[in-house]
Copies of this chain bind each other. A is one copy, B any other.
Amino acid sequence: MNFDVFKNRVSMSKKDMYKEFFHENKDRIKVKKEDVAVKNLIKISEATLALSNKKGFSAMSMRDLSARAGLSMGALYSYFSSKDELLDMIQQQSMRFAARVLVDQLTGIDNPHLKLKQAIYAHLYLSEIMHPWFYFSYMESKNLTKRVQKKAIDLELFTEKIFIDVIEQGKHDGIFRSVNKELVAAMIKAILQDWYLKRWKYEMRNISVEQYAKSLIDLVGSYLLQ
């Protein structure tokens, strides 16, 4: 699958994502007009990711954020009640979206080898589309509240489980050889994550996401299929 096809399929409407978020949090958010709220939530979220990814969330001041998002301090605080809540809000919202896309992309594929490839593509492409958040999510994990931190760990383990299961299935079907499936899955995850954590390196070397995906599939395939 190529990247553009994926992009269209996911048709990441940020607006829809935040519309949904707005309706679920009407009680906490002081602004009542949907279009105003959604527009500002997007601005706030993007500004937070941009600033945090540059200097770190806790080094980002609310004044920085206010300037970058184009909203006053007062206005900001009608969307959340504290800096921590802002972080959790972005985190939860994006996590849910990411999990949903991944599941959607994999349902209906039964052949383990195909499913393995598709899972690799889906992870990489999604992290490409949502790059600022993926990076943010990794780097700011220790600043999350305990509750949301637990959710983040669950998501890591959930996505890893996708690989564990597919390796198991492949072994069961007699396609893959016998390996320590947890460890192989963890290594695949590590490589998937490196793609969004070290973008500077891959950009420097002009490696495209398709090329990266192919290499990873090649590596893992040659290990499991022999």
Contacts and interface: CB of A to CB of B under 8 A. Distances in A.
A20 B207 CA distance: 41
A199 to B, nearest CB: 12
B201 A187 contact: no
A47 to B, nearest CB: 17
Interface in A52-73: 53-56, 58-59
A210 interface: no
Contact of A183 (B58, B183, B215, B226): B215
Given A56-B56, A219-B223, A222-B222, A191 B187 contact: yes
Interface in A161-195: 180, 182-184, 186-187, 189-191, 193-194
Contact of A223 (B157, B205, B212, B223): B223
Contacts of A219: 184, 187, 219, 223
A197 to B, nearest CB: 8
A142 interface: yes
Given A56-B56, A187-B216, A223-B223, 14 more contacts: A55-B143, A58-B58, A139-B139, A156-B201, A180-B215, A187-B194, A187-B215, A190-B190, A190-B194, A191-B191, A193-B194, A219-B219, A222-B222, A222-B226
